[in-house]
Each structure stands twice: as structure tokens, then as C-alpha cells.
Amino acid sequence: MTVPASLTRLSQTPRRFPGALLLSGPSEAALDAAARMLAASLLCPGDDPDRRCESCRRAGAGLHPDLFRAEPEGVQIRVDRVREALAFGAGRPYEAERRVIVVPRAEMLGVEAANALLKSLEEPGARLHWILTTTRPESLLPTIRSRCAAVALPRPSSAEREGLWRERGFSAEQAADLAVLAAGEDEAAPDPAALSTLRLEIAAALEAGLCDGSLPALLLLAELAAGREEAAPRLTAELLADAALAASGAGDLVRHRALSGKLARIARSVKGEALRSAALRAADPPADSRRGNRRLHFEGLLIDLYLRGR
């Protein structure tokens, strides 16, 4: 995954670089690499596009004295860590002309920590830049998002994703499956067969519920989406979105082409608008991830979809 050229050019002219930048994308590893590259560019004392000078190497390794990383601790980024970052940002640079604070996985900011950031994000000053990264920008407080310039990193092409999985030791066939089934190339090595089986189970439940009128199949799917299978909610949302594409006549754009037949049947049974609405709701489960809350969330959207298809 590459950083947009326009953003790279801006980092080489720091006076024009946003005081607060929100980087989003599907891969935490790619986001972290992009944040390190941008930080190195902002702190570089000269013009080193290859980022090989001593300053750039130290920034890339997280060792530059004018770079601070507010990392998550446990399940969140704590307010004490944010206060350390604010104190760092208020100081004078040691070597560079400015300071940079990186907040990786910003969706893990606690409410108190996020609120503590607001004033500095809005008015960081001429010598401070914030770089926040997240794979889930919708999970950040609106007040955080509104104070940042937002940039989404481009998703790698299907061929690039396949290549990354092959580099990790998967066969060509497995890599082709994972390019479609896996959430991102930096996740723990998944089992392609297990993901394929899970996808088929979700598609069969949607087909039984929406085409054959089996409400119990949809209730079982809600239980599955709320359970321990981390990929289940994502695959449910993707299959609903694919069915919506099929319903709109854009079947050639579906992600899960191996299930085109089931998706087409679902698309004939339910209106595309209802499928699109359900896909959006499935992609945005409640922030409180307790099983009961998630099950009720998926039950609600699937029952609504069932009723709109009757």
C-alpha cells in the first residue's frame, strides 16, 4: 500500500502539511509504515526523498527525539498517555524545526483521552503535527474526525493482495482465496478453508432466510455474527453488499464471485435498497461488543430485511 503522491509532496513542504492528519485504510501495518514515512519526511533536515539519512532512519525506527508515539496500552489509549503527548507537543524541538506525534490505532482512544486531544488537534501550532491512524474511522468521535484532514490510503489491487499472501508461504490457490476472504494482509495467518466454509455458511443462511422464508436461519446467522468468529460480521456485510450490487445489475462488481449464483437468487428476492441498507448496518456493529448487544444488532437488521422481502 502506497501513500498518495499528493500527501507525500505535502510532507516535503511541512508549512503546508495539515496540523492534524487522520490516515485510514484496511491494514494496520500499512498505516503504520505510512505514518513513519510521513513523520520522517516532516522531521528530515534536508531533502532526502529516499528517507535514508540519519534523521529519517531514526524517525522510521521511532527513535527520533522530536517524534512521540501515543501507543495503546491494553484495550485503549489512556488519557495519561495523551497528556504525555500534549506535554511533548508543547515543548521546543530538540533537533528538527518541528515535532510530530503519531497516534496509531486511534479508534482505541478512550472518551476522556479523545476529549483531551481536541484543543491541540484544532490548534496544534506551527511546530507540531499530529498523525492519527485507524482502520475504523467511523469509530472515532465526530469531534476528532472534524478536526483532522482525512486521507484514505488506497487498497492494494487483487493481484497485489495475492502476491502478499504468496510471500507469506500460501499456495497460489490459497492466496487467490485469501485476497477475497481475508480482512487484510497483516492479520494473523488465517485458514483459507475455514474462511471459505464460513462464507458458504453465511450465504446459505441468507439464501434460506430471504429466499425460502426461513426466519430461524436468519436468527442463527445473527448468533453466528455475534460469536467468536471475528470474520463473520465482515463477511455478512460483504455478502449483503454483493447481493445489493447484483440487484442493481452490477453483478460483475461483486467481491465474492464464487457465490454469484446464491447472490443472484437473493437479489431476485429482496430489493436492492433494502440490501444496501442492511449491508451498511451490518458493517457498523455497536461499539459495545458484548455478545448480547451484537446479537440483537444483527437480529434487528436481518429481521427488518426479512420483513421487507415479504
Q: How confident is the model at residue 109 (pLDDT cuts 50, 70, 90)?
A: confident
What are the backbone dihedrals phi and psi of residue 109, each rounded to the nearest 5 degrees, phi first?
-65, 125
Query: In CATH terms, is domain 5-152 a member of 3.30.530.20?
Result: no
Between 227 and 79, the higher pLDDT residue: 79
Q: Are 186 and 172 in contact, with CB atoms under 8 Å apart?
A: no
Q: Are 211 and 223 in contact (CB under 8 A)?
A: no
DSSP string for 124-156 = --TTEEEEEEES-GGGS-HHHHTTSEEEEPPPP
> For residue 102, is pLDDT > 90?
yes
What is the pLDDT of the chain when averaged over all its residues?
Answer: 83
Rounded distance, CA 53 to CA 123, Å?
A: 30
Q: Residue 118 has what pLDDT?
A: 92
Q: Calculate the CA dihedral of residues 20, 21, 22, 24 and round it to 10 degrees.
A: -170
pLDDT tens column, 148-181:
988 888 776 677 677 777 776 677 777 777 766 6
Look at residue 122 and tell me whether its pLDDT is greater than 60.
yes
CB 156 within 8 A of CB 181: no
Percent of the chain residues topping a pLDDT of 90: 30
For residue 3, the model assigns a pLDDT of 60
The reported pLDDT for the residue numbered 155 is 72
What's the first-to-final CA gap in the chain, in angstroms?
A: 43
Whether the predicted pLDDT of 59 surpasses 70? yes
Which segment, 49-53, 221-225, 280-284, is predicted with the most confidence on average? 221-225
Distance CA 165, CA 216 (A): 37
pLDDT of residue 191: 76
Find the mean pLDDT for residues 2-8.
61
Residue 1, pLDDT score: 47
Distances, alpha carbon 108 to alpha carbons 132, 197, 261, in Å? 11, 31, 39
The predicted pLDDT at position 189 comes to 59
pLDDT digits (tens, 9 = 90+) for 173-224: 777 777 666 766 555 556 788 888 888 999 999 999 999 999 999 999 999 9
**Contact at 8 Å (CB) between 169 and 154?**
no
Tens of pLDDT, residue by residue over 242-262, are 899 888 888 777 888 888 899
SS (H, E, C) 9-48: HHHCCHHHCCCEEEEECCCHHHHHHHHHHHHHHHHCCCCC
